[in-house]
Amino acid sequence: FDFSTACQLPSNALYLCVYQSSKEFIEDYLGWCVGNVRDGSPVAPILAALLSETVCVLFEVPHDVVTQKVQMQHAGEPFTPSWRTPSRGWGVARQVWEKEGVGGLYSGIDAHLLTYLPWSMTWWATYELGKVVLGEFMDWGPANVGAGIIAGLFSAIISNPLHVIKTRMQCDPAANQVGVLGLFASIVANEGPTALFKGVTVA
């Protein structure tokens, strides 16, 4: 049972539950002032995405920190499983905890929120509105697929620069000390603006 699974399962379940319940609550009780998705208002999915993404940092940030540190390790680096660290991910998590404390597992939390809040809000707003628009011209299934593709494209482009900054802050303590704005300026000055869009095709 890897560290990644231990974080992702509760995170995904919590995210979807919080999003769906908060979106329904907002539309049912606040729809009179924020509007409804069916009427072309993106406010409910934006607020629901904001809430669900904020709640899930409890699991998502430690997962990101540990996963990135595992990926940066050399393939031949020795590791001996034990009951306390049954996998390399748990081993890295324990090392971070012992050396940096709980704060080390939440390194770059500000960059994480700055990355995934815009991504999540853009994805859900585009997806929900896309379903309504495409649903006028096609069946439910193709409309959902099309809305998902469009939402993925828009959200990846918008959030990729912040994702680059987040990854560097979580993997490099020196970059983390500079801060989001300082690292942003450094990347643009030393590597050019295109460096902020590395990996956008993968995303």
What does the pLDDT read at residue 1?
55
Q: Could you give the angle at the alpha carbon of 107 between the alpha carbons of 101 and 111, nearest 5°?
A: 160
Distance between first and last Cα of the chain: 26
Find where tokens 């769906």 sit: 20
Assign 180 a pLDDT band (cuts: 50, 70, 90).
Answer: confident
- pLDDT per residue as tens digits for the range 27-50: 999 988 998 998 899 999 999 999
Closest CA to 52 of 17, 92, 26: 17
What does the pLDDT read at residue 155?
92
Phi and psi angles of residue 19, each rounded to the nearest 5 degrees, phi first: -60, -50
Closest CA to 45 of 127, 101, 105: 127
Question: How buried is 93 (Cβ within 10 angstroms: 0-12 exposed, 13-18 middle, 19+ buried)?
Answer: buried
Measure CA 202 to chain center: 15
Least confident of 55-64, 82-91, 100-109, 154-163: 82-91
* Alpha-carbon gap, residue 185 to 49, rounded angstroms: 28
* Alpha-carbon gap, residue 101 to 51, rounded angstroms: 27
What does the pLDDT read at residue 86?
64
The model carries a pTM of 0.79
